Every structure is written in C-alpha cells, then in structure tokens.
Amino acid sequence: NAGVTQTPKFQVLKTGQSMTLQCAQDMNHNSMYWYRQDPGMGLRLIYYSASEGTTDKGEVPNGYNVSRLNKREFSLRLESAAPSQTSVYFCASSEDSSSYEQYFGPGTRLTVT
C-alpha cells in the first residue's frame, strides 16, 4: 500500500495562475481532508469530504475549491493563486466519519510569487 500520495511535490506559481493539487489514497477510506501548514502554525483544515459525493468547508476555505472525484481521489484547486496561499499543503484520509485517526500524505510545497 502506498497510503496517501500527493502530486506535485513542489510547485511555483505566479499570482493569478491556477492549479490543481492531486491526492489519492489506496486504503479504501471514506473520509478525506485538505490542510495547509504555515510556519509557526498548526495544520488548518481547508476542506474535507466525509464520504464520496460530499464536501464541506473547513476553517480556511476561501480561495480554494475541491472535488471528490471518486472514493480514492480528492483534489484541491486554486483558481487564482495569491501570495497568501504560499504554504505546504497536506492531504489526509480516515477510515470513515466515526474515525478520528488521519493518515497524511507527504505534502506539496507551493510558492506563489
């Protein structure tokens, strides 16, 4: 099992450009999450998907959209990147909506200039 995989590992964007961060898990988990991590701060939830076909906003959803493509994949889209979105992005998954233990991917380091 690869667990949770994320692509790309690194990305540099110019202000106003768009991009999609990809995430996939092979653990047959129902719930998936997107976080951002900034220096000196904990992980902050952007969006989550409790199960296939559902998505909900987290703590910091502005400027982002998500798609739960199927049970395995959960993508995060930046429509018009801003310097404030420079961060490390982590995708995570958990077994189902009653499970709190989350498994994390290796992260995507995004820089917006």
Partner 1 sequence: GESVGLHLPTLSVQEGDNSIINCAYSNSASDYFIWYKQESGKGPQFIIDIRSNMDKRQGQRVTVLLNKTVKHLSLQIAATQPGDSAVYFCAENNPGGGNKLTFGTGTQLKVEL
Residues that bind partner 1 in the complex, under the rule CB under 8 A: 4, 31, 33, 40-45, 48, 50, 56, 58, 90, 92, 94, 96-107
- Nearest partner of 75 among 23, 18, 17, 6, judged by Cα: 23
CA–CA separation, 49 vs 55, rounded Å?
4
**CB 50 to partner 1: min, Å:** 6
Cβ proximity to partner 1: between 44 and 71 the closer is 44
Instruction: Give the shortest CB-102-to-partner 1 separation in angstroms.
Output: 7
Give the nearer residue to partner 1 in terms of CB position, either 9 or 14: 9
Q: How far is the CB of 63 from partner 1 (least distance, A)?
A: 20
Distance of closest approach, residue 11 Cβ to partner 1, in angstroms: 15
18-57 burial, b at 16+ Cβ within 10 Å, e below that, comes to: eeebbbbbeeebbbbbbbbeeeeeebebbbbbbeeeebee
Indicate the residue among 38 and 79 with the shorter CB distance to partner 1: 38
| Tokens standing for residue 107 | 């992260």
Query: Would you state the structure tokens that stand for residue 1, as one six-digit string?
Result: 């099992």
Of the pair 17, 106, the CB lying nearest partner 1 is at: 106
